[in-house]
A and B are shown apart, each in its own frame.
Chain A
């Protein structure tokens, strides 16, 4: 079909476009005569690039996007449990010691030096590594057991404690990174350096879309977030085709930037403009074979569809009052964590495959008790409401919910330890995450840390294992979803990772 374009003459009854057509002819003439040979050589060079990508064929891409019956990557490998995923990313590193990992023995050790045998020669950060003393700081929160599963939760999260029987706690999480940017990047892409595709991009690439009118991968960031900055590479497509990157929805008038028509433009001839543009792009693609041209064309199409689909899905006005009450009063304030949770549910209902929430502010170096309390208040009700809401709609059956940060926090106090206050530094060797919903055991706790929540003593789960498990739940064998780039095949888990079967139903 593509070969036809050379013969079809570009014609438009729009004067501006006719001018372009004239230029195009002149340009074509020059190119075909003087640069002709060079162009042929170049296009064959670029064409070979296509062979490198393991889905070179355009039709394959198209089919995946259109989500037709045959997935050309041979996916899913097995029957999926999760149809969609929502990842509630708690950026900064929430303190497992003050939320879920209850360590009663610490009470008697208040202020005592953390034994060297526990630290085990670990290199600490520059922020607390030079401290003359590393005093043990027991949590100032009160822990209780909840639900039939008798899960320990601190009083910082009263709402979440109501839904513990739906949660699957992973208490032995481990990462390789001790600083925010590499740790978040590692958690989201499987590598500490930016440039690899994020989890959502891999899923979009592998499984395609369930709703042609919305992106497969959407990111929502809580507004007014402070602390370490988040950047678009966290939801970037890396070396995968560009249309698989996460699309960020913002709060306020324009959820997606540059989507609404500019002032004084009625949008009447947009369809015509886009068709014409894609015609032009087709010509360019035939000449150069650059797959990015195709990605760009798809993104224009998606943007066009989103002009109608986004205002519809981001409109929360038809939600009944009792739903807002459940998510808390913040949920009426667009851009807050609670409002994003509610929005996320709507997106999931519409068939968005992967929704990634980010909430910043969990980096409690100095005022841990106050900070944890503060962030919990902002997120607790929304998180719990999302679980309940998904559950009552039956969506928890095929939706995987993930909660967690990039690492945990230290048992020793960073800075001065007093009865009322302590700080906690970054801690990569042990932290808590939880999952809920599709395919994971409800009311379950996996893994154990030592009495200081410093080392994992039973059932550690590394970030790579977590990724492998996540892909497994969506029907993907993490070793078989690959993309060839710069001469070798890459995976989300690269050369690591084991599915944690004990977490699965």
Chain B
């Protein structure tokens, strides 16, 4: 298609603005007509022909501007067609309605047929249909019903994967980005620049300016060039007013084009993946990276009532939210708070935490006379990532009860009676990375025996 002159395209872009005028005028005429049926008011009646006339004129202008806009070729032809013809029909019916109203056209008056109201009703229907097609062109056909509360058709389901390595780069990482930031303009019905990014076929096909991307060469790929431009540049994508891609999203697109050769079925494991990308991917998907600990996603937990917090504070704990409004807490029992208490009294204190047991991410209770029996209570804090129990009366037996803490990443047990027997417990704790065991019965030679076993945490014995 030959490109229309710039001036025509410039005028064409006023179409989305001007179309609102006939919509307003014609709807208003309809409302006046209805109203005057209910209550005769000559002053209001006088407004109807004017509203219809203005509606007709602005509708005609809109049609012309709309045609100009369609010359840009940014829109899919079949979709434009329906909008085009309905637009013209609306204009014609509007002019007829005006002529009827001013009695230039006289229709025989049947008993149950009122020409005015009939043409106006038809007009409203036409307006709605035309408007709907127009909306689809501008916003994409799924825009209107995207958040429809019922009858929503689920989009294609991805096979759930358990670790980052199993995820298909395109399906899991690239497509969500495109869908989020690109496809509202680059889809099958609204192909801005002739480009659609909804599926592999159309991506390969490219747009008006050639290929969207060159596999293996992100630097030369139009798509990457455009998102990396200065945001004020007119070629910058996404255009002004839309949310730009984040650094992380760009990094993933580059990784897909360069490392995965823009392939649509490669899994992360089959692609050379730098460390930072696997971290991004792991955050993106909320999945752990194989063989790497400590990257557990933050758990979703319920809110805690103010009274509960106040009660815990009154029991001598200090408590701090670790991420704002995450309801995940660091709980500290200052050292020596309970040192001289009996085990029963300590148990009672710990019981105060029962209501927030899933919300505790870090727990510090050093030097507080805690014994093995108390570790049973602590082992209920299933989301614990950091646990400090140094200088308490803990033995290997107590450590076994901690084995079920699958999120635990760092365990401080220096100055306790723990011995090499606990090393077996450490092996069972999937996410355990660091154990601080200075001043315990664990010796350097004990560690030697465990080297080479699976899931060995780093055990620090001091200097």
Q: Hey, which bits of chain A sit against chain B, CB under 8 A?
A: 67-71, 74-80, 83, 208, 210-211, 349, 351, 388, 391-394, 397-398, 475, 501
Say yes or no for B390: interface residue by CB 8 A criterion. yes
Q: Shortest distance in angstroms between B387's beta carbon and chain A's nearest beta carbon? A: 10
Q: Report whether A74 and B324 are in contact in the complex, using a CB–CB cutoff of 8 Å.
A: yes
Q: Shortest distance in angstroms between B447's beta carbon and chain A's nearest beta carbon? A: 15
Stretch at the interface among B77-85, B164-172, B237-245, B314-322: B314-322
Query: Which of B324, B390, B412 meets A71, CB within 8 Å?
Result: B324
CB-CB nearest in chain A for B460: A391
With A and B bound together, what is the CA distance between A349 and B390 in angstroms? 12
Residues of chain A lying within 8 A (CB to CB) of residue B388: 394
Q: Report whether A68 and B309 are in contact in the complex, using a CB–CB cutoff of 8 Å.
A: yes
With A and B bound together, what is the CA distance between A98 and B10 in angstroms? 66
CB-CB nearest in chain A for B324: A74
Say yes or no for B340: interface residue by CB 8 A criterion. no
CB pairs A–B below 8 angstroms (6 shown): A69-B309, A349-B335, A392-B414, A393-B412, A393-B414, A394-B390
Q: Shortest distance in angstroms between B239's beta carbon and chain A's nearest beta carbon? A: 25
Q: Report whether B322 and A79 are in contact in the complex, using a CB–CB cutoff of 8 Å.
A: yes
Residues of chain A lying within 8 A (CB to CB) of residue B361: 79
Q: Report whether B412 and A397 are in contact in the complex, using a CB–CB cutoff of 8 Å.
A: yes
Q: Report whether A70 and B321 are in contact in the complex, using a CB–CB cutoff of 8 Å.
A: yes
Q: Shortest distance in angstroms between A208's beta carbon and chain B's nearest beta carbon? A: 8
With A and B bound together, what is the CA distance between A68 and B438 in angstroms? 32
Q: Report whether A391 and B323 are in contact in the complex, using a CB–CB cutoff of 8 Å.
A: no
Say yes or no for B176: interface residue by CB 8 A criterion. no
With A and B bound together, what is the CA distance between A259 and B436 in angstroms? 37
Given A391-B460, A391-B463, A397-B386, decide whether A69 and B320 contact each other with a Cβ distance below 8 A.
Answer: yes
CB-CB nearest in chain B for A208: B320
Q: Report whether B414 and A69 are in contact in the complex, using a CB–CB cutoff of 8 Å.
A: no
With A and B bound together, what is the CA distance between A349 and B412 in angstroms? 14
Instruction: Given A69-B306, A391-B463, A392-B462, output 13 extra A-B contacts at Cβ < 8 Å.
Output: A67-B318, A67-B319, A68-B319, A70-B321, A71-B320, A71-B321, A74-B324, A76-B321, A80-B322, A349-B335, A388-B463, A392-B414, A397-B410
With A and B bound together, what is the CA distance between A397 and B276 in angstroms? 22
Q: Hey, which bits of chain B sit against chain A, CB under 8 A?
A: 276, 298, 304, 306, 309, 313, 318-325, 328-330, 332, 334-335, 361, 386, 388, 390, 410, 412, 414, 434, 436, 438, 460, 462-463
Query: Which of B323, B410, B438 meets A392, CB within 8 Å?
Result: B438
Q: Which of A74, A76, A392, A393 lies at the interface centre, i.e. has the most chain B CB atoms within 10 A of its CB?
A: A393
Q: Ordered nearest first, which 9 A-B pairs have the shortest CB separation?
A: A394-B436, A392-B462, A394-B412, A392-B438, A69-B309, A74-B324, A388-B463, A397-B410, A69-B321
Residues of chain A lying within 8 A (CB to CB) of residue B334: 211, 351
With A and B bound together, what is the CA distance between A78 and B324 in angstroms? 8
Q: Report whether A75 and B324 are in contact in the complex, using a CB–CB cutoff of 8 Å.
A: yes
Q: Shortest distance in angstroms between B254's beta carbon and chain A's nearest beta carbon? A: 16
Q: Report whether B321 and A475 are in contact in the complex, using a CB–CB cutoff of 8 Å.
A: no
With A and B bound together, what is the CA distance between A75 and B323 in angstroms? 7
Q: Report whether B318 and A210 are in contact in the complex, using a CB–CB cutoff of 8 Å.
A: yes
Q: Shortest distance in angstroms between B157's beta carbon and chain A's nearest beta carbon? A: 30
With A and B bound together, what is the CA distance between A397 and B460 in angstroms? 11
Residues of chain B lying within 8 A (CB to CB) of residue A397: 386, 410, 412, 434, 436
With A and B bound together, what is the CA distance between A174 and B462 in angstroms? 35
Q: Which of B325, B328, B410, B463 lies at the interface centre, i.e. has the most chain A CB atoms within 10 A of its CB?
A: B463
Q: Shortest distance in angstroms between A387's beta carbon and chain B's nearest beta carbon? A: 10
With A and B bound together, what is the CA distance between A388 and B438 in angstroms? 11
Residues of chain B lying within 8 A (CB to CB) of residue A70: 321
Q: Shortest distance in angstroms between B321's beta carbon and chain A's nearest beta carbon? A: 5
Residues of chain B lying within 8 A (CB to CB) of residue A391: 460, 462-463
Q: Shortest distance in angstroms between A211's beta carbon and chain B's nearest beta carbon? A: 7
Q: Report whether A210 and B332 are in contact in the complex, using a CB–CB cutoff of 8 Å.
A: yes
Residues of chain A lying within 8 A (CB to CB) of residue B434: 394, 397
Q: Report whether A501 and B390 are in contact in the complex, using a CB–CB cutoff of 8 Å.
A: no
With A and B bound together, what is the CA distance between A83 and B362 in angstroms? 11
Query: Which of A77, A211, A388, A393 meets B324, CB within 8 Å?
Result: A77
CB-CB nearest in chain A for B310: A68
Q: Shortest distance in angstroms between B423's beta carbon and chain A's nearest beta carbon? A: 17
Residues of chain B lying within 8 A (CB to CB) of residue A71: 320-321, 324
Residues of chain B lying within 8 A (CB to CB) of residue A388: 462-463
CB-CB nearest in chain B for A388: B463
CB-CB nearest in chain A for B276: A501
Q: Shortest distance in angstroms between B220's beta carbon and chain A's nearest beta carbon? A: 26
With A and B bound together, what is the CA distance between A475 and B328 in angstroms? 13
Q: Report whether A69 and B329 are in contact in the complex, using a CB–CB cutoff of 8 Å.
A: yes
Q: Which of B298, B304, B334 lies at the interface centre, i.e. has the most chain A CB atoms within 10 A of its CB?
A: B334
Residues of chain A lying within 8 A (CB to CB) of residue B462: 388, 391-392
Q: Shortest distance in angstroms between B334's beta carbon and chain A's nearest beta carbon? A: 7
Query: Which of A78, A210, A351 meets B323, CB within 8 Å?
Result: A78
Q: Report whether B322 and A69 are in contact in the complex, using a CB–CB cutoff of 8 Å.
A: no
Q: Shortest distance in angstroms between B458's beta carbon and chain A's nearest beta carbon? A: 11
With A and B bound together, what is the CA distance between A79 and B438 in angstroms? 27
Q: Shortest distance in angstroms between B410's beta carbon and chain A's nearest beta carbon? A: 5
With A and B bound together, what is the CA distance between A501 and B276 in angstroms? 9
Given A210-B318, A351-B334, decide whether A392 and B436 contact each other with a Cβ distance below 8 A.
Answer: yes
Q: Shortest distance in angstroms between B201's beta carbon and chain A's nearest beta carbon? A: 36
Query: Which of A68, A83, A393 meets B313, CB within 8 Å?
Result: A68
CB-CB nearest in chain B for A75: B324
With A and B bound together, what is the CA distance between A208 and B460 in angstroms? 31
Q: Report whether B322 and A475 are in contact in the complex, using a CB–CB cutoff of 8 Å.
A: yes
Q: Report whether A69 and B304 are in contact in the complex, using a CB–CB cutoff of 8 Å.
A: yes
CB-CB nearest in chain A for B309: A69
Given A211-B334, A392-B436, A398-B386, decide whether A76 and B322 contact each other with a Cβ distance below 8 A.
Answer: yes
Residues of chain B lying within 8 A (CB to CB) of residue A208: 320
Q: Shortest distance in angstroms between B384's beta carbon and chain A's nearest beta carbon? A: 14
With A and B bound together, what is the CA distance between A171 and B349 in angstroms? 49
Residues of chain A lying within 8 A (CB to CB) of residue B313: 68
Q: Shortest distance in angstroms between A358's beta carbon and chain B's nearest beta carbon? A: 27
Residues of chain A lying within 8 A (CB to CB) of residue B386: 397-398
Residues of chain B lying within 8 A (CB to CB) of residue A68: 309, 313, 319
Residues of chain B lying within 8 A (CB to CB) of residue A67: 318-320
CB-CB nearest in chain B for A212: B318
Given A67-B318, A392-B438, decide whether A79 and B410 contact each other with a Cβ distance below 8 A.
Answer: no
CB-CB nearest in chain B for A78: B323
Residues of chain A lying within 8 A (CB to CB) of residue B323: 76-79, 475
Residues of chain A lying within 8 A (CB to CB) of residue B414: 392-394
CB-CB nearest in chain B for A207: B320
Query: Which of A210, A351, A393 meets B390, CB within 8 Å?
Result: A393
Residues of chain B lying within 8 A (CB to CB) of residue A74: 324-325
With A and B bound together, what is the CA distance between A392 and B436 in angstroms? 7
Residues of chain A lying within 8 A (CB to CB) of residue B335: 349
Q: Shortest distance in angstroms between B49's beta carbon and chain A's nearest beta carbon? A: 55
With A and B bound together, what is the CA distance between A65 and B36 in angstroms? 67
CB-CB nearest in chain A for B409: A397
CB-CB nearest in chain A for B433: A397
With A and B bound together, what is the CA distance between A68 and B436 in angstroms? 29
Residues of chain B lying within 8 A (CB to CB) of residue A77: 323-324
Q: Shortest distance in angstroms between B296's beta carbon and chain A's nearest beta carbon? A: 10
Residues of chain B lying within 8 A (CB to CB) of residue A475: 322-323
With A and B bound together, what is the CA distance between A111 and B437 in angstroms? 52
Q: Shortest distance in angstroms between A443's beta carbon and chain B's nearest beta carbon? A: 13
With A and B bound together, what is the CA distance between A351 and B324 in angstroms? 20
Q: Report whether A393 and B320 are in contact in the complex, using a CB–CB cutoff of 8 Å.
A: no
